[in-house]
Amino acid sequence: MTLPITSVTQDPENLTLTIVADFPVPQERLWQAWADPRQLERFWGPPFAPATFTHHDFTVGGRAEYFLTGPNGEKWSGSWRFTAVNPIDSFEAYDGEDNAEDEFGPASMTFTFETTPTGSRLTGVIRFATMEALERTAPGMTEGLRAGMPQLDAILAGPAVSTEE
C-alpha cells in the first residue's frame, strides 16, 4: 500500500507543521470527507481515542465541536471556529481546547485542496500561536500516543517526548 503522505515539514522557529498528502480520489470527494462530520470523525481521532463530532457548522464564523474518547473513558474536547470556508478549495479554522470561546485559539489551521493528475492533494498548515499552546495541547495526546500506539515510537524522528510530571 502506498501511503498518501507526501511530506511533513516542521518549523520549530515558527511552531508550524505543514502536511502534504495525495489521495487517489477527486478533489470533491476529498472535500466531502471534511464537510461530513460522520466521515470526519472516522479519521480525526487517533485509533485509541476516536472522535465524536457533536456540531459541525462548516461556514465562516461557524463552529465545529468534538470530543475524543480515550481507552479508559477519558474525554478530551476540542472545537474549531471557521474563519474561511471556500468549498471545495480551502478552509481555515482556529483549533481551541475545551470548547473555549477563545478569540484566538491556540492553533490556526489552513487546509487547501487541489486537483492533481492522480487525484487530489491536501495541504495542511498548522500553526501554534505560542509555545504554551503547543505544550498545552500536547500532553494528553502524547500520552495517548504512547499508551495506544507503541509502534509509533519508531516513527518519532526526534528524542522521546517527556510527558512525565
Under the rule (CB under 8 A), what is the footprint of other proteins?
1, 3-5, 8, 10, 12-13, 15, 17, 19, 21, 23-25, 29-30, 33, 39, 42-44, 46-47, 122, 124, 126, 130-132, 134-135, 138, 141-142, 145, 149, 152, 155-162
Taking the complex as a whole, the smallest distance from the CB of residue 32 to other proteins amounts, in Å, to 9
Taking the complex as a whole, the smallest distance from the CB of residue 141 to other proteins amounts, in Å, to 6
Taking the complex as a whole, the smallest distance from the CB of residue 95 to other proteins amounts, in Å, to 11
Residue number, 24 or 71, with CB nearest to other proteins:
24
C-alpha cell at 128: 501554534
Residues 108, 93: Cα–Cα separation, whole Å: 6
Residue number, 27 or 79, with CB nearest to other proteins:
27
Plot region of 15 (φ>0 → left; ψ -120 to 50 → alpha; else → beta): left
Residues 123, 110: Cα–Cα separation, whole Å: 8
Taking the complex as a whole, the smallest distance from the CB of residue 44 to other proteins amounts, in Å, to 7
Residues 111, 124: Cα–Cα separation, whole Å: 4
DSSP notation for 104-147: S-SEEEEEEEEEETTEEEEEEEEEESSHHHHHHHHHHHHHHHHH
Residue number, 60 or 89, with CB nearest to other proteins:
89
Residue number, 24 or 60, with CB nearest to other proteins:
24
Taking the complex as a whole, the smallest distance from the CB of residue 142 to other proteins amounts, in Å, to 5
The sign of the CA dihedral 40, 110, 63, 106 is: positive
